[in-house]
Structure 1
Amino acid sequence: MEFTLPSRVEDYRTRIARFVEDEILPLEADRGNYDAHENITLEAIAPLREKARTEGLWCLQLKPETGGQGLGKVGMAVCYEEMNRSIFGPVAFNSAAPDDGNMMVLEKVLDQPRQDRWLRPIVEGRVRSAFAMTEPHPGSGSDPSMMQTTATKRGGTYVIEGRKWFITGAEGAQHFILLARTSDDPRNGLTAFLFDADQPGWRIERRIPIMGPEEHGGHCELVFDGLEIPEENRLLNEGDGLRLTQMRLGPARLTHCMRWLGLSKRCVEIAQGYANERFAFGERLAARESVRMMLGDLAMQIEIGRLLVMKAAWELDRGGYARKEVSMAKVHVANLLHRAVDTAIQINGARGYSKDTVLEWIYRYARQARLVDGADEVHRMVLERSLGKHGRHFWRWDVAEGA
């Protein structure tokens, strides 16, 4: 097993770390750069995005011919973790959700002319995108088979009727990936489409208020009442919607974990800094056994999360699906993030609960981690299903040929 990084990946990691330290953290520290939804203002982030592009730190997740850096999932794991030392890091490098996952899947499934139409504007940062799958009850959530939104084919056009909600970034998105039902087949009844925000036949019903800070474009409820999508804007074949969803969500779940590890480390960093400077009852907080145990345990849990993420990234890079590896990483790192920020707030006391640090921001953001892209319970069921299928081989090591 190899745990060293290629020098090229380390070069990217080092340059991203410097960029975050010198360029992004100063903006994060100034509350005047926050918009009404507690994200960085588009005006503040625009010069950083241009500078990241100029320095070759743009779209690390894509192939060079698409406009990226071709780092692969292992390289992304290292660099995404470094990016999210700041709460505003990923968007500066065009590596934030949902654009991140949308770009990766569109790169895989679109031919060159359609990449020029739908993917290139996102890669270049000229437009943003959204992924419209989740629906209100009784529609689909973690179970896509419950999807109620329909796509009825009429000649060379699909007519969309239905409703979606909690669609991240919808209010600011121009290009959408949409999942809709084209038949009652339990495995092949869903189909994926592309549509543009300027097309008629759909609307944003509302921007849903949430507990935490929001991505640009919020989390919206969408209504489709006759949106017409030409057949050429279908993704893959009719009935391949579930396949496309799996292609997108597996890597996207893992990139969430990569970023959450960066936030977890930031929480420890803030907690350590305060514990080292704060005195109580005649000694530094950092000298107290209880505080040292809390920080030591977090250091261990973060390292466990990094290993889980890296194993899943390695499996994806070699062409595997990494279903159980991604599920393990998703559950562990989502819970780790919540624990890390909660511990950091506890160590910081009232300071951590205030807006004098980003801890309360991260705390509110962290609660969604156990829900987005599959709740903890769903991923644990995935793991149990794999355990039931493979038994003791669930834990097997692959053996190199000729070894």
Structure 2
Amino acid sequence: MAARVEAFVRDTVVPFEGDPRRTSHGPKDELVQELRALARDAGVLTPHVLADGEHLSHRDTALVLRAAGLSPLGPLAVNVMAPDEGNMYLLGKAASAEQKGRFLAPLVSGAARSAFFMTEPASEGGAGSDPSMMQTTARRDGNHWVINGRKAFITGADGAALGIIMAKAEDGASLFLVDLPDPAVRVERVLDTIDSAMPGGHAVVAINELRVPADQMLGDPGAGFQLAQIRLAPARLTHCMRWLGACTRAHEIATDYACRRHAFGKALIDHEGVGFMLAENLIDLKQSEVMIDWCADVLDSGALGTAESSMAKVGVSEALMRVADRCVQVMGGTGVTGDTIVEQVFREVRAFRIYDGPTEVHKWSLAKKIKREWKAKQP
């Protein structure tokens, strides 16, 4: 399957990289649906979900998502892009049979997009890296829940058909499944951000007296944080998988440039300053691959993998940032233009160091774990 996805991305998706329907707020849904129709015809749509609804192992998913990531449009085309991929995983693990039929099936088919509403505006003291600061509220009203609050950086909210909203109920943070659009969920603005790969961009959203039927709560009241953990550790890792594919492609482009371009009497790659950068890329790419596979094995063992996914997120995002930066440097002026995807990969890998938890938050979490383990060993 990974080989089929790679062939589809290289042969069919890559020619769309110059399509004018790609905007600063992400590709238009018209383009996404056209690509997904091609993926459906090629038998590679939603390749990480099996016919019986089960997911590939995390180790196998790594092969498929790396192949999809070879183009910025690849994950969208084959329906393995965030936030849909993570939302599919969560719904597959935690939704009732009725909820799966209503909310999961349209995602798996590629007919609909979704959004995960957790982060809140920092200016209002809302939840970000610390979800315990959640200010969005949910109160029970008969057989409904009524949700109020504001969310920020909500990927794909503009144009999503499904929302998974985290709100603080009397029993604690809870998750709710919501049909979109809804007049009670208003996109205030789509932010101008450094990345441009996500349809709908990243939005600030106001939620005002949103009424949600009680049977659309995901799991039990107060189980929001526990359910979010089911999603978050694998989602961190799938980000790493896709970006490894993107940086592999950027490295291929930079290598081709360095081998063809001549200066001072020889090919650029024959100058140590350039050749060594490409050699360092090879090392960082391989280390990223190994770290992803290691963390995938941990998740496949049934472990929650919180610490391991934090380590992988930090290690891979920092390594791939170095790779993308070197690719730009090797290509000089061409590297900062839109003539290739290298410039886009560089921009968006920079954002990846923040998304799904900034490097520093993961290091802080790991440092707390180190201290706990030290204390446990003291007499």
TM-score band w.r.t. shorter chain = over 0.9
Matched, 1:363 2:355: no
Does 2:13 match 1:24?
Answer: yes
Alpha-carbon distance between aligned partners in 1 of 2:318 and 2:250, rounded to the nearest angstrom:
14
Task: Give the Cα–Cα distance (whole angstroms) in 2 for the partners of residues 172 and 124 of structure 1.
Answer: 17
Structure 2 residue 60 is the aligned partner of structure 1 residue 75: yes
1:4-403 map, 5 Å:
12-28=1-17, 31-37=18-24, 39-66=26-53, 70-137=55-122, 138-183=125-170, 189-391=172-374
- Decide whether aligned partners of structure 1 residues 309 and 391 sit closer, same or farther in structure 2, where only a CA change above 3 A counts: farther
In the alignment, the residues of structure 2 paired with residue 204 and residue 13 of structure 1 have an alpha-carbon distance, to the nearest angstrom, of: 37
CA displacement, residues 44-96 of structure 1 (integer Å, 9 cap, x when unaligned): 44343123223332223324223x7x421100101111111111111111100
TM-score, normalised relative to structure 1? 0.89
In structure 1, C-alpha distance between the alignment counterparts of 2:301 and 2:353, rounded to whole Å? 28
Bigger relative contact order (CA 8 A; separation at least 6):
2
1:183-233 CA distance string (max 9 Å, x none): 3xxxx6201101111434221111111122141011111111110111100
Q: For 2:239 and 2:201, how far apart are their aligned partners in 1?
A: 17
Cα distance in 2 for partners of 1:32, 1:256 equals 24
Shift of 1:393: 11
Distance across 1 between alignment mates of 2:229 and 2:198:
23
TM-score (norm 2): 0.94
Matched residues in 1 for 2:98 and 2:263: separation? 65
The letter for the 1-side match of 2:146 is V
Identity rate, percent: 38
2:127 aligned counterpart, secondary structure: coil
Show CA shifts across 1:78-134 (max 9, x none).
111111111111111110011100011001111222211111111112211000000
Q: Secondary structure at the match of 2:52?
A: helix
Displacement of 1:39 in angstroms is: 3.9
Residue aligned with 2:167, SS: strand
Residue pair 1:130, 1:168 contacting (<8 A) in 2 also: yes
In structure 2, relative to structure 1, the CA distance for the partners of 1:38 and 1:243 (3 Å cut) is closer
Shift of 1:15: 1.2
Unaligned segments of structure 2, at least 5 residues: none
Answer whether contact 1:148 1:180 (CA < 8 A) is retained.
yes
Q: How many residues align?
A: 375
**Contact 2:159–2:181, Cα closer than 8 Å, also in 1:** no
Give me the whole-angstrom Cα distance separating, in 2, the residues matched to 1:38 and 1:86: 17
For residues 213 and 178 of structure 1, the distance between their equivalents in structure 2, rounded to whole angstroms, comes to 23
